[in-house]
Structure 1
Amino acid sequence: MNKADKIFKDTMKMILEEGTKDEGPRPYYPSDNAPAHSTFITHQIHTYDISKGELPIITLRPIAIKNAIKEILWIYQDQTSSLDVLKNKYNIHWWDEWESKDRPGTIGQRYGATVKKHNLMNNLLEEIKKNPYGRRHIMSLWQEEDFKETDGLKPCAYETIWTVRGEYLDMSLTQRSSDFIVAGHINGMQYVALLMMVARHCGLKPGKFTHYIINLHLYDRHEENAKIMLEREPINCEPKLILNPDKTDFYSFTIDDFELVGYESVKPQLKFELAI
């Protein structure tokens, strides 16, 4: 059993056996407008050493790696919150339900728009190169002034902290809220991809990736699928995410520069009703 599968099973058992049920939730199910209740645990820390071949990808169901990485490119390369860019360039539609009323056609002054406004990505790349052993290499999408500018979903995965350790670049991701069974491993893998691109740009190797999740939850309509996944036997494989070795500039990477090899997953895929 790979590390990600073990973490998933242990965490899901903890949610089902020890989790707290919420009250008065904000999310709802679009199919009938019913409140989307969840059971949650708090302060979960998952660490993977990318340099040792560990990846936050489970085999218990197929994970949409390409779309996960496309979303990261949209946020940190395109630096926009435009839904048209997300749909026309990357063929991703999962943000459509969160279109801003204040700024139609976007998700508001959030995510990529925040990266651009505060020059977060360029500042990070410059500072890591200029002062690699600095302890202030932080990108935060949690900008209160941006929240006041427009409506929109406040970022879930909102802060990364970067540390140079010899020839390695380590990164931690802080996430306030995680729909673990649906998006937990999508978030993990997309930020590993970001770590790989930044490390390459700065002449370093990807090191440790730590995912800190404050509220990790399971929605009530996903509980049966969670139990199915707990009953599944994981596949013994060692997946690797490979980044095109011929490129070094952060902004030159495209989705075609990533290749996931050696990955297998249990099928069939499970269907989840999304809460928004």
Structure 2
Amino acid sequence: MSPHPEQQYLDAMARVWAEGSERIDRTGVGTRSLFGVTMRFDLSDGTVPLLTTKRIFWKSAVKELIWFLSGDTNIRPLVEQGVHIWTDWPLDRYRRETGEAIDRDAFETRLVEDAAFAEKWGDLGPVYGKQWVSWSDGKGNYFNQIANLVDGLRKNPASRRHIFTGWNVAELDRMALPPCHMTYQYHVADGRLSGILYQRSCDLGLGFGFNIFEAALLLRMLAQQCDLEPGEIIWMGADVHVYLNHEHLVAEQIARTPRPFPKLEFNRRPDSIFDYRLEDFAIAGYDPHPHIAAPVAV
């Protein structure tokens, strides 16, 4: 019997913790890191790589992906939907620049209730969604990479240029966080769509579960929009790390046995890649181990 595909992830986490180079990183927390890790996940049977060795809040991941595709860069719509994964960055900036020792709940309440406050303090700069659907060349021209991708997959599936990226060098210094999952490329063969995600930096403990699920989700959305069947999602991580304060997470998670991946079905086919809603996605058979809490390094 073939090993469970999630074992790739657990083996990578164990190897990073055991063999990784210990480094003091941008956050000051410190990591153990390896350079260059690859994983492959077959989507052709309808399953999606939603980690089972700890619960991943998949609805939050769907909401984040839809938010990316909207081109929005303000966290207010996420907070209004109960998604907190981006709050720590603007909250940290607010505390540093104002000196106010506000807690996260109070900060999010102000974002939701005060549009002017949200406009000033909730924006992340030109992060993912901005680059995906409104890339600026600095000369007044804007490019929707996602719309161009869908058009290319439909009209010229054999192309080797089915690529989009968030790494806009001219705008990196204005982003709250430069893109970690930065470049995506797609390949069509025998009516199946496969994709590669190149990730420059990956927090295995907290980030990977969202990153790989959203990459698979996006591939399935593209396949549906382009009348293709799903193939593989291939993940390539450059700086792949575990934070030093996540030892408990590593020990507990690698001791768990993976359970079958769930299946993804669509409840409808939206008119375009930009028209998906949370209720369009149905995840069946997800039976994960319990969530493992761990701190985010900002």
Same fold, TM exceeding 0.5?
yes
- Which of 175, 182, 193 pairs up with 2:206? 182
Q: Does the aligned pair in 1 maintain the 2:9–2:39 contact within 8 Å?
A: no
| Aligned mate of 2:79, from 56, 78, 87 | 87
Instruction: Provide the identity percentage.
Output: 26
Distance 1:218 1:12 in 2: 7
Q: 1:138 pairs with 146, 159, 163, which one?
A: 163
- TM-superposed deviation, 1:54: 4.9
Encode CA deviations 1:78-137: one digit per residue, 9 max, x unaligned. Answer: 11111122222x331221222378964211011111223221111111111121111111
Matches within 5 A, 1:189-204: 189-204=213-228
Residue 22 (structure 1) aligns with = 23
Tell me how far 1:63 sits from its aligned partner.
1.0
Give 2:115's aligned residue. none
Could you tell me which of 31, 35, 38 is aligned with 1:38?
A: 31
Secondary structure of the 2:44 match is helix
2:55 is matched with 62
Check 1:147–1:12 CA distance in 2 against 1; reply closer, same or farther (3 A cut).
Answer: closer
Instruction: Select which of 241, 244, 247 maps to 2:264.
Output: 241
Contact 1:4–1:55 (CA under 8 A) maintained in structure 2: no
The alpha-carbon distance between structure 1 residues 200 and 38, as it changes in their structure 2 partners (threshold 3 A), is same
Q: Would you say 1:211 and 2:218 are equivalent positions?
A: no
Alignment TM-score, normalising by the size of structure 2 = 0.82
Could you report, residue by residue, the CA deviation over 1:214-240 in whole angstroms, capped at 9, with x for unpaired residues? 0111111111221112222333x3411
Q: Deviations over 1:49-88 (max 9, x none)?
A: 1003453222211111111121111112x11111122222
Q: How many residues are aligned here?
A: 263
SS of equivalent to 1:52 = coil
- Find the counterpart in structure 1 of residue 11 from structure 2: 10
Structure 1 residues without counterparts, runs of 5 or longer:
28-34
Q: Comparing 93-102 with 117-126, which one deviates more in the overlay? A: 93-102
Q: For residues 209 and 77 of structure 2, what CA distance do their matches in structure 1 show?
A: 24
SS in 1 for 2:297: coil
Cα distance 1:154–1:48, how it changes in 2: closer, same or farther (>3 A)?
A: same
2:68 aligned partner: 75
Q: Is 2:132 the counterpart of 1:115? A: yes
**1:32 counterpart residue number:** none
Distance 1:116 1:55, change over 3 A: closer
Task: Find the aligned partners of 2:68 and 2:3 in 1 and give their Cα distance.
Answer: 30
Aligned twin of 2:190: 166
| Alpha-carbon distance between aligned partners in 1 of 2:61 and 2:261, rounded to the nearest angstrom | 20
The one-letter amino acid paired with 2:190 is G
**Cα pair distance change 1:53/1:3, threshold 3 Å:** farther
Q: CA RMSD in A?
A: 2.0
Equivalent pair of 2:51/2:261 in contact (CA under 8 Å): no
Does 2:273 correspond to 1:250?
A: yes
* Residue 127 (structure 1) aligned with residue 152 (structure 2): yes
Question: In structure 2, how many angstroms separate the alpha carbons of the residues matched to 1:47 and 1:54?
Answer: 13
Q: TM-score, normalised by structure 1?
A: 0.88
Question: Letter of the aligned partner of 1:98 in structure 2?
Answer: W
C-alpha distance in structure 1 between counterparts of 2:247 and 2:5, whole Å:
19
Q: 8 Å contact 2:20–2:32 — kept in the other structure?
A: yes
Give the 3-state SS of the residue equivalent to 2:231 in structure 1.
Answer: strand
Q: Give 1:151 deviation, angstroms.
A: 4.2
Distance 1:43 1:185 in 2: 18
Task: For 1:226 and 1:240, locate their aligned partners in 2 and report how far apart those are by CA, in whole Å.
Answer: 26
Secondary structure of residue in 2 paired with 1:75: helix
Question: Is the 1:72–1:191 contact (alpha carbons within 8 Å) kept by the matching residues of 2?
Answer: no
1:96 aligned partner, one-letter code: T
